Amino acid sequence: MSEASTSGTSGSIRRSSRTRKKKKSQLPIGIAAGIVIIILGILLALKDPKLGLFWFTGMAFGFILQKSRFCFTASMRDPSLTGSTTVTRAVLVAFALTSLGFWAIKYGASQQGLPIPGQSYVVPVSFATVIGAFIFGIGMVIAGGCASGTLMRVGEGFTMQIISLLFFIIGSLWGAHDFGWWKLNVISNGKAVFMPDVFGWAGALVVQLLIIACLFVAAHKWENRKKEKNA
């Protein structure tokens, strides 16, 4: 290599190093934002303790979602696109834990002769479920995130997700407006299934956990198979 080319190369390296700007530290902004969050939480708690609880719980969930990149869309999309089932298995573990918690709450209320909480969410499974799942699936793939993922990315400043959130709200309002018609003409034709009524309380929990375990194993095998094909 000639001396001219060597000097030219070193000169370009020096010029590129001069033009490279150091990133500003975001630590002061983070500290200021944390102080504002704490002050707002305290003010809300003084007005109503539940508001303060909701505020700090929401902030904690947002932090966990952002750091873990937890997203229901990714759990359904990644196995097909990349073969990864890490998020899928994380969602299944979350389902298993929440199943145990909800089962304990409902079983405890039943044993004490109290109204079982959450029974209003035991609704008929009908053709409306299929239509809703299909439309929601298309929407969340195009938007690149489900409700939780969209809210998390809005907090990160993604413009596309802000637009997605806007139309998510519009679609929700539209759906709420037409829900009466769907309930009368479609949903009411389906059948509601409460698993403890079919399998008993212990059987319902076992069946639920077995289904989740089978899906977990299937997801793990799917990822290994994809890795072997790409190897």
Confidence label for 14 from pLDDT (cuts 50, 70 and 90): low
Choose between 104 and 10: higher pLDDT.
104
Q: pLDDT digits over 52-93, tens only?
A: 899 898 888 888 877 777 777 778 878 888 888 888 898 899
Q: What is the mean pLDDT of residues 112-120?
A: 88
Q: pLDDT digits over 195-219, tens only?
A: 998 999 999 999 999 999 999 999 9
Confidence label for 20 from pLDDT (cuts 50, 70 and 90): low
**Residue 13: per-residue pLDDT:** 47
Query: Is-contact 188 124, C-beta < 8 A?
Result: yes
User: Quick count: other Cβ atoms within 10 Å of Cβ 144?
Assistant: 17
User: How far is 34 from 30, CA to CA, in rounded Å?
Assistant: 6
